[in-house]
């Protein structure tokens, strides 16, 4: 089994060496506050092009290293504050801790199925099942954060630079989880597009999941027309009622405009976001493709479900 040092080495040599030195010099190999500071300082040095690898190294240490109490407190506060501005949080690891996230992904995989008319990506079972695998493989990190300094009512934020989903102390609505995990799909597909289109897709995905689970969708919602078109199989790129023109916008265009006008929904309307920036080494899109390929192969190889036994006296 590979040592943590050997896992850190290809991500960032300086962080790996600092980790090795700190754990050799402390009783039991525990990372105390002073040691955590030494390691973290190495992650603050380097070009933007290696930021992704350095963040991955920090999360790997958070996941697998042994901390003293003061070291863990420092690590939690420092990483959360670095990514969100302030606050602290706990990295979720166990099946029980991750159950809400896995449940949301399972529901999305059985309900969401549409192609974005502006970004060209297909949101479907394969994508959401792949996100489940990436969470299991610790490639997507789930953090229960305190939400300090954030607007009240925000339930979660996905940070693409860190492949991290932050959950906050509000009721964990399934729709919020589906929305944020749809952003994870966008990130791992290395999408590049207007912020309003990235958000529109995520809102539609959450709306579709909600409609299937609840049996209907509220007509007063600005998402209603888009969600109903997807449910009816009419959300086709070639359908002008879905994907229109500036002169005659379709349902998708109208929803994108509504969301772009809402600062709580779209932070940077009109701004193109490139979700491949900051990656190091193998592109996330390539990693995702391999995960999806393996899952598809495993699904084909799996034996079909056993037929239910026929009750006595009943012919087939």
* Averaged pLDDT, 52-71: 95
Residue 307 confidence (pLDDT): 59
- Whether 315 shows a pLDDT value over 50: the answer reads no
- Whether 57 shows a pLDDT value over 60: the answer reads yes
- Model confidence band, residue 316 (pLDDT cutoffs 50, 70, 90): very low
Residue 163 backbone class (left: φ over 0; alpha: ψ -120 to 50; beta: rest):
left
Residue 51 confidence (pLDDT): 84
* Averaged pLDDT, 56-68: 96
Contact 87, 148 (CB under 8 A): yes
Please list, residue by residue across 40-51, b when 16 or more beta carbons sit within 10 angstroms of its beta carbon and e when fewer do: bebbeeeeeebb
Q: What is the pLDDT of residues 127-167, one digit of tens each?
A: 999 999 999 999 999 999 988 867 666 888 999 999 999 99
For residues 50 and 187, which has the higher predicted lDDT (pLDDT)? 187
For residues 304 and 110, which has the higher predicted lDDT (pLDDT)? 110
Q: What is the pLDDT of residues 201-253, one digit of tens each?
A: 999 999 999 999 999 999 999 999 999 999 999 999 999 999 999 999 999 99
Residue 280 confidence (pLDDT): 63
* Averaged pLDDT, 27-35: 90
* Averaged pLDDT, 22-29: 82
Residue 47 confidence (pLDDT): 79
For residues 309 and 251, which has the higher predicted lDDT (pLDDT)? 251
Residue 31 confidence (pLDDT): 96
Contact 196, 259 (CB under 8 A): yes
For residues 40 and 170, which has the higher predicted lDDT (pLDDT)? 40
For the chain, what percent of residues have pLDDT higher than 70? 92
Residue 123 confidence (pLDDT): 97
Residues 6+ apart with CB under 8 A from 145: 80, 84, 87, 88, 89, 90, 166, 167, 168
Q: What is the pLDDT of residues 251-264, one digit of tens each?
A: 999 999 999 999 99
For the chain, what percent of residues have pLDDT higher than 90? 79
- Whether 308 shows a pLDDT value over 80: the answer reads no
Please list, residue by residue across 230-255, b when 16 or more beta carbons sit within 10 angstroms of its beta carbon and e when fewer do: bbeeebeeeeeebbbeeeebbbbbeb
């Amino acid at each position: 089994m590979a040592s943590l040092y050997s896992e850190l080495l290809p991500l960032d040599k300086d962080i790996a060496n600092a980790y090795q030195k700190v754990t050799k010099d402390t009783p039991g190999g525990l990372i105390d506050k002073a040691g955590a500071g030494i390691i973290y300082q190495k992650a603050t040095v380097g070009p933007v092009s290696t930021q992704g690898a350095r963040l991955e190294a920090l999360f790997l240490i958070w996941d697998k290293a042994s901390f003293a109490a003061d070291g863990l407190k420092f690590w939690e506060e420092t990483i959360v504050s670095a990514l969100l501005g302030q606050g602290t949080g706990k990295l979720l690891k166990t099946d029980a801790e991750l159950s809400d996230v896995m449940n949301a992904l399972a529901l999305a995989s059985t309900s969401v199925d549409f192609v974005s008319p502006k970004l060209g990506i297909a949101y479907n079972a394969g994508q959401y099942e792949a996100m489940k695998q990436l969470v299991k493989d610790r490639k997507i990190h789930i953090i229960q954060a305190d939400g300090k300094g954030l607007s009240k009512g925000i339930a979660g934020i996905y940070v693409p630079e860190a492949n991290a989903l932050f959950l906050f102390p509000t009721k964990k609505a399934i729709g919020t989880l589906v929305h944020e995990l749809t952003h994870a799909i966008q990130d791992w597909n290395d999408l590049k597009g207007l912020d309003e289109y990235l958000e529109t897709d995520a809102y539609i995905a959450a709306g579709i999941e909600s409609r299937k689970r609840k049996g209907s969708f509220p007509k007063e919602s600005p998402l209603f027309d888009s969600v109903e078109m997807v449910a009816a199989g009419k959300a086709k790129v070639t359908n002008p009622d879905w994907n229109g023109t500036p002169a005659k916008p379709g349902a998708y265009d109208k929803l994108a405009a509504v969301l772009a006008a809402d600062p709580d929904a779209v932070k940077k309307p009109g701004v193109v976001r490139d979700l491949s920036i900051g990656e190091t080494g193998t592109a996330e899109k390539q990693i995702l493709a391999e995960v999806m390929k393996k899952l598809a192969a495993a699904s084909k190889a799996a034996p079909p479900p056993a037929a239910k036994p026929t009750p006595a006296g009943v012919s087939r």
